[in-house]
A and B are shown apart, each in its own frame.
Chain A
């Protein structure tokens, strides 16, 4: 990423206020895979509606595991995890889809369906939600165009560059206007210029009202915004609100 790259001139979402609704809340959460060692230890934080937050930490610190808890791919081993006011421990599997539709996820490795076109990949959340193609086709096309891929509408993801695939992943994550957007190393596979463009895209989404959490070990990216930073090290979380 280019030195001195700053986006602080882009105001943080006006919805972000200290008294606003908590979208995700963790209280003394621990997590382990099977009978393995504890990956996350006594993690506590809150993501408030409209906030923009970074999650940093070295590789292996537990960022991806924390994100897995947030997008409900895994259960906490202990502690309390709340999504949109619901305690995850009391949820049945059948309750998850409705909550997941309120969360958009961008993965470092994209997780596109390579046999589908860019348009079909972006439209996937709407299709899964049972909407008719005719009802969303134009909106999806507009979104694909908005992320700069109008000329790749019918391309297969595998034929696109890393940055283009990342934009497809972002478009898919936001197509159903989620309340929370989380991104795992979204700039890990792109050049600095594309990283800046992607970050600008996240900021724009945040200004439109989406709560954003970006997990990254790229400190240049973190320094580009005056947004709160949560740092993970050896499974423990520290919180730094730079705006305060």
Chain B
């Protein structure tokens, strides 16, 4: 056709160019939204994990102990009674140890309500015995009751049952909330990516049409979007996970010293949490890739 035909043509060097060109204007906001969602998802996951860990610890503490509350009797030394009873209880099978607390210890426990000025000496303050058990399921309630009856002591035995039930219900609710929140965030992320993939397909209809005309399958076209959104998801996931890790470190370092956070589950940094955060980019990439592929395939199916 021209003089070009005379010289042997040489193909250009290098590899394939990307069929789906990057679109910074559209991708940047999506990246930011995705990173924020991953950040929230990481915090929800860390929260779920720490709630789980804390509730197990609370349950272990409550299940493995009981408290004997000795009410003072006129003419008897309640502190000495507590010491004697604790010694007998500690000899029971299944009991690790039994520690008698003095009236002074009881007054100290009441300080938040009555202040530090001391209680009147004639006020009958119960004296406590802390009992630690080998086996939470083998609580020797009857044996302890026998010891108390034999000694003629008026006392209550608290196996923390009402507390452990409440803690179990609260921790179960907290876990459900945390996992529900995590699922919602992941669902929102998938929906956002699906929406973005559809928008991207509309914006790049020229590419999709050109590829179809030359014989590309829907799977091939969807694969282009899938790879692109996987890459975006991984980058957004890494960014969100890093920010979540920074927050967790700040809370772990600062929160442990804050009395106000005593009853709150603390954010832990065990290998489990590190692995979970490290997996976040892959999970985010997977969610993004899957939702993009499904959305694009669904859109393409409507065309014939």
A-side residues, CB < 8 A to B, are 71, 73, 75, 93-94, 96-98, 100-101, 105, 111-113, 115-117, 119-120, 124-125, 127-129, 133, 137-138, 140-142, 144-151, 153-154, 172, 176, 197, 201
- B123 close to chain A: CB less than 8 A: no
B112 at the interface (CB under 8 A from A): no
Q: Once the chains are docked, how many angstroms separate the CA of A141 from the CA of B5?
A: 11
Q: What is the CA–CA distance of A147 and B5 in the complex, to the nearest angstrom?
A: 8
- Once the chains are docked, how many angstroms separate the CA of A100 from the CA of B303? 15
23 A-B residue pairs with CB within 8 Å: A73-B213, A75-B304, A93-B301, A94-B217, A97-B217, A98-B215, A100-B213, A111-B210, A113-B19, A115-B21, A119-B12, A124-B214, A127-B16, A128-B216, A140-B11, A145-B5, A147-B1, A148-B4, A148-B5, A153-B11, A154-B12, A176-B214, A201-B1
Cβ–Cβ contact B9 & A116, under 8 A: no
| Of the residues B214, B220, B304, contact of A93 by C-beta under 8 Å | B304
Q: Are B16 and A120 interface neighbours, CB within 8 A?
A: yes
B215 touching A97, Cβ below 8 Å: yes
Tell me the bound Cα distance from A12 to B214 in angstroms.
Answer: 27
Q: For the complex, give the distance between the alpha carbons of A144 and B207 in Å.
A: 21
A150 and chain B: residue at smallest CB distance: B4
Asked whether B218 lies within 8 Å of A128 as measured between CB atoms, the reply is: no
> Which residues of B pack against A, CB within 8 Å?
1-2, 4-5, 7, 9-12, 15-19, 21, 206-207, 209-218, 220, 300-301, 303-304
13 extra interface residue pairs, beta carbon distance < 8 Å, beyond A113-B207, A127-B19, A153-B9: A71-B213, A100-B212, A101-B214, A115-B18, A115-B21, A120-B16, A125-B215, A128-B211, A128-B216, A138-B9, A145-B4, A146-B1, A149-B4
Q: Which 8 A-B pairs have the closest CB atoms?
A: A101-B215, A150-B4, A137-B11, A145-B9, A148-B2, A148-B1, A125-B214, A141-B11
For the complex, what is the distance from the CA of A154 to the CA of B13, rounded to whole Å? 10
Residues of A within 8 A of B209 (CB): 111
Contact A111 B220 (CB under 8 A): no
Give A111 to B206 CA distance when docked, in angstroms.
Answer: 7
Measured between beta carbons, the chain B residues less than 8 angstroms from A94 are 217-218
B11:A146 contact, CB within 8 angstroms: no
Residues of B contacting A75 in the complex (Cβ-Cβ under 8 angstroms): 304
Contact A142 B9 (CB under 8 A): yes
| Complex interface: chain A residues within 8 A of B5 (CB) | 145-146, 148, 150
- The listed residue (B15, B211, B303, B304) touching A124 by CB distance below 8 A is B211
B301 neighbours in A (Cβ, 8 Å): 93
Residues of A within 8 A of B2 (CB): 148
B237 shortest CB reach to chain A, Å: 27
The CA-CA distance from A115 to B215 in the complex, in Å, is 20
B206 lies within 8 A of A117 (CB): no
The contact of B216 among A97, A113, A133, by CB within 8 Å, is A97
Query: Chain A residue with minimal CB distance to B216?
Result: A128
Contact B12 A117, beta carbon cutoff 8 Å: yes
Contacts of B7 in A (CB 8 A): 145, 150
Give the shortest distance, in Å, between B23 (CB) and chain A (any CB).
Answer: 11
Output the nearest chain B residue to A105 by Cβ-Cβ distance: B213
CB distance A197 to B215 under 8 Å? Answer: no
Task: Please determine whether B218 and A153 come into contact, CB atoms closer than 8 angstroms.
Answer: no
Select A96's contact among B206, B207, B210, B304, beta carbons within 8 Å. Answer: B304
Nearest CB in chain A: distance from B196 CB, A: 20
- With both beta carbons as reference points, the residue of chain B lying nearest to A125 in the complex is identified as B214
Contacts of A115 in B (CB 8 A): 17-18, 21
Question: Among the interface residues B4, B7, B21, which one has the most CB atoms of the partner chain A within 10 A?
Answer: B4
**Which chain B positions have C-beta within 8 A of A105?**
213
A138 to B7, CA, bound (A): 13
A153 CB contact (under 8 Å) in B12, B16, B206, B211: B12
Using Cβ atoms and an 8 Å threshold, which residues of chain B touch A172?
214
Q: Give the docked Cα–Cα distance between A147 and B89 (Å).
A: 101
| B15 surroundings in chain A (CB, below 8 A) | 133
Taking CB atoms, residues of chain A closer than 8 Å to B9 are 138, 141-142, 144-145, 150, 153
Are the C-beta atoms of B11 and A119 separated by less than 8 Å?
Answer: yes
